[in-house]
Amino acid sequence: MNLDNKVSQLAKRRGFYFQSAEAYGGVAGFQTFGPQGAELKRNIEESWRDTFSRGLGHKEIEGPTVMPEPVFQASGHLDGFDDMIIECPECGTNTRADHLVEDNTGVEEAEGFSTEQIEGLIKEHGLVCPECNEHLAGVEVNDFNLMFKTSIGPGDGTNGYLRPETVQGIFTEFPRLKQYARNQLPFGVTQIGKAYRNEISPRKGLVRTREFTQAELDLFIDPEEDRPDLTDVKDIELKLYSVEEQKSDEGEYIVATVEEAIEEEIIGVNWIAYYLGIAKEWYKEIGIDMDRFRFRQHQKGERAHYASDCWDAEADISGEDEEEEWLEIAGFSYRGCYDLKKHGQHSGNEREFKIFKEYDEPVVQEETKVDIDMGILGPEYGDEAGEIAEIIEREVRQAPSVAEDGPIFVHLDGEEHAVDNSAVEVSVEEVKKTGEEITPEVVEPSFGVDRTVYTVLVHGYNEDVVDNEKRTVLHLSNEVAPVEVAVFPLMDKEGLGDRAREIASELRDSGLNVEYDDSGNIGKRYRRQDEVGTPYCVTVDYETLEDEPETVTVRERDSTEQERVKINELEEYLSSKL
């Protein structure tokens, strides 16, 4: 049994995650987090907040998951948010074409290929339908938009869509968010929430779903002035897989510190290098195995059109003796000013998506002033006079000489108009400026929370032998383990159960996440807690009732070593360990 199957079975058995609506046959692409999984997910989200939101001084918002159609017209999702789909002519199964190529050939990152290239690879390798084995050579590959459409309001209402990423809710609210930041750059806004993509072929549990959770940070900067403070990250070592190395026959990793990666221009954007350093330390803290972790640079074909550079955090989720399988768990992109400009243009409020940048000292500049006599243009051009005046003003500001001799030629709706230059008066004035309006640029680390949960489980999963008995254990980080302490009575009789329940209650009151369990023999209870990754188990036995002061046995998950601890020191002992 491969590692994915083992983790999936454990997840279902112990309440981490399972397919939703199983009573109705289940729906592909939707997963329910059980009691242990929901707690693990919340712990990861809270740890992310501590690091990337509160820890960096950024502010978090929570926007709606349904947004009106114009938002996604502006963002480009309605026109270009597509995956490649191929439909089997025999059984009608729809398959994501680039995944079909990746799964059955040596080709990697086929997402960046054109539909024609994918069709060629399907033909070249003789690929077949994964359901009925029908040959797919010659079958057309099409683009499929991943947006979930809905209607806002009764009747026909207003067209809306479930958001495919949380970030658009940050961009659309920028006019108000900049006020909260007192119009001072840089400032960061974070959001953790659900996103939706109508995936063609959901697969592998939490790896590719139709509803998932993202944790995103958008940092708005002045690219001419704002630089990251590298003091705390400059010496952090990164394992980098650059575009050049991906194209090379050798394909080796580059190991460099954050500072070296910037100085040697391995990473072209210093803000990205900064966030990679922070992310690496965070991933290590929550239990990602650094021997199975890397940062991979996007190749040109797979990079989003708005991104000048993008690096993915990737984790190897294969098991021992299995072929490497790298999973993207976060993306770090430099989006430039694309998003704010688009929303400014489409909303008709361009100035609202800019920030006033105040100069250190006022600057005196010459400014061309254009006065147009509408008393001349109005009678001559009627309804078109206003548009003609706008064109003239724009062209004269750019090149004042066009108004000096003869008529000014204006092209409007395919017609050329010769406007008498006597209707235009040009003057140059000295203007004192205290600043200028700029469109901020955006650096965006975006994390897949569900995939991070899955990776933590995969990297924490282990099988060993304890007391001549096979054991399954999750070596989860104390930072994110769903249960911190389990409390057992050796048996639920003669006062042992009552004392154990009292201790469990006291530990909960101290802020620890505690589970009480008196079902089955003590060995089985230890195994249950090992499978959910509980770091410490506390057992109340007969010695507890006999000792003065009272003591309990504390067992550590990874080593299985046991230690007697005084109950009046138990809270302090566990807190120091955790």
Comparing CA positions, the residue from 67, 86, 64 lying closest to residue 77 is: 67
The confidence score (pLDDT) of residue 197 equals 95
How many Cβ atoms sit within 10 Å of the Cβ of residue 465? 8
What is the full DSSP assignment across 20-84?
TTGGGT--TT-EEE-HHHHHHHHHHHHHHIIIIITTTT-EE----SEEEHHHHHHHTHHHH-EEE
* Token representation of residue 478: 């104390």
Strand-pair partners of 280: none
| CATH 3.30.930.10 location in the chain | 3-66+164-339+443-450
The confidence score (pLDDT) of residue 79 equals 83
Biggest alpha carbon distance in the chain?
110
The confidence score (pLDDT) of residue 81 equals 84
Say how far apart CA 270 and CA 234 lie, in whole Å: 11
| CATH 3.40.50.800 location in the chain | 483-577
**pLDDT of the chain, 578 residues: tens digit per residue:** 899 999 999 999 999 999 999 999 999 999 999 999 999 999 999 999 999 999 999 999 999 999 999 999 999 898 878 889 999 999 999 999 999 999 899 887 788 788 999 999 999 999 999 989 999 999 999 999 999 999 999 877 789 999 999 999 999 999 999 999 999 999 999 999 999 999 998 989 999 999 999 999 999 999 999 999 999 999 999 999 999 999 988 889 999 999 999 999 999 999 999 999 999 999 999 999 999 999 999 988 787 777 789 999 999 999 998 999 999 999 999 999 999 999 999 999 999 999 999 998 888 888 888 899 898 888 888 888 888 888 888 888 888 888 887 888 888 888 888 898 888 888 888 888 889 999 999 999 999 999 999 999 999 999 999 888 899 999 999 999 999 999 999 998 889 999 999 999 999 999 999 999 999 999 999 999 999 999 999 999 999 988 889 999 999 999 999 999 999 999 999 999 99
Comparing CA positions, the residue from 413, 392, 557 lying closest to residue 485 is: 557
Residue 94 in contact with residue 146, Cβ under 8 Å? no
Are β-strands 485-489 and 514-516 bridged in parallel, bridged antiparallel, or unpaired?
Answer: parallel
Q: Which CATH code is given to the segment(s) 3-66+164-339+443-450? A: 3.30.930.10
Say how far apart CA 73 and CA 425 lie, in whole Å: 40
Distance of CA 548 to the CA centre of its chain: 53
Are β-strands 485-489 and 536-540 bridged in parallel, bridged antiparallel, or unpaired?
Answer: parallel
Backbone angles phi, psi at 387, to 5 degrees: -65, -40
The confidence score (pLDDT) of residue 112 equals 78
Distance of CA 116 to the CA centre of its chain: 30
The confidence score (pLDDT) of residue 515 equals 97
- The single-letter code of the amino acid at 63 is G
The confidence score (pLDDT) of residue 423 equals 87
Strand-pair partners of 355: 438
Strand-pair partners of 82: 145
Say how far apart CA 441 and CA 432 lie, in whole Å: 26
Residue 109 in contact with residue 382, Cβ under 8 Å? no
Say how far apart CA 454 and CA 461 lie, in whole Å: 11
Say how far apart CA 329 and CA 263 lie, in whole Å: 26
Say how far apart CA 407 and CA 170 lie, in whole Å: 48
Residue 41 in contact with residue 488, Cβ under 8 Å? no
The confidence score (pLDDT) of residue 553 equals 97
The confidence score (pLDDT) of residue 203 equals 85
- The single-letter code of the amino acid at 61 is I
The confidence score (pLDDT) of residue 173 equals 97
State whether CATH 3.20.20.210 applies to domain 483-577.
no
The confidence score (pLDDT) of residue 522 equals 93
Say how far apart CA 297 and CA 311 lie, in whole Å: 4
Backbone angles phi, psi at 158, to 5 degrees: -115, 135
The confidence score (pLDDT) of residue 39 equals 98
Comparing CA positions, the residue from 243, 316, 238, 306 lying closest to residue 272 is: 238
What is the full DSSP assignment across 134-187?
-B-TTPPPEEEE-PEEEEESSTT-EEEEE-SSTTHHHHHTHHHHHHHTTT-SSE
Return the residue matching tokens 């061309």.
368
